[in-house]
Structure 1
């Protein structure tokens, strides 16, 4: 019963995200907005309900099955992918490099911000 309660709650957040996106015309996917809303709710509560934890663990244990539709889609559109392999490859490589650079820069800024005062010999309470 815990699993059903958890999966229902996850689907309700997805539905609320979809409805919000359609009503507000926000240019992001509804499930992403629902996930952000769920994250904010869990962050405010400070803990994850047992039902959500059980449902999410069950979904994560079968995560590989969720990639099957994507693989089928790639095989169904293999001809188009074969025709457009150069732009697809360039987009993948460029987006990977941009992501790596952005992640490295964010990590450096965050590390300086969090560790900076401690690295200068100051204690956490000193100003």
Structure 2
């Protein structure tokens, strides 16, 4: 378990470092998980090495959403004033993601 947590947190730290050094607007945790996914798919890291910690994190994922949910309560007044743009952005971004994923999937199936 310690080894798997160490691997996951190492990739998280690497992602934060890459984001900071390259000054790119992508969060370090996203870059770290992309690096971890690449390492897993290339065989540089074995799935068995990260599975124990990953299983625990996935099983307790609901608890990890509590702090952002509580933090969101601080902005209820702003959300109440700006709910129309928020809802529009939500639906437009959802449609955009569906269209792009569908287009990429079709391109990949034809290749």
Q: TM-score, normalised by structure 2?
A: 0.89
> Over aligned residue pairs, what C-alpha RMSD do you find?
1.6
Q: Aligned residue for 2:30?
A: 32
CA distance in 2, matches of 1:47, 1:21: 22
CA distance in 1, matches of 2:29, 2:95: 27
* Residue from 55, 78, 82 that aligns with 2:80: 82
In the comparison of the two structures, how many residue pairs are matched? 111
More deviation, 99-108/83-92: 99-108
More deviation, 21-30/82-91: 21-30
Runs of 4+ in 1 over 3 A off after TM superposition: none
Q: Aligned residue for 2:104?
A: 106
Gaps of 5+ in 1: 114-127
CA distance in 1, matches of 2:11, 2:45: 17
CA distance in 2, matches of 1:20, 1:58: 26
CA distance in 2, matches of 1:78, 1:89: 14
Q: Aligned residue for 1:9?
A: 7
Q: TM-score, normalised by structure 1?
A: 0.79
* Residue from 37, 57, 60 that aligns with 1:59: 57
The answer as to whether partners of 2:39 and 2:45 remain within 8 angstroms in 1 is no
Deviation (angstroms), 1:13: 0.9
Larger Rg: 1
CA distance in 2, matches of 1:49, 1:107: 26
Q: Aligned residue for 1:117?
A: none
Q: Aligned residue for 2:66?
A: 68
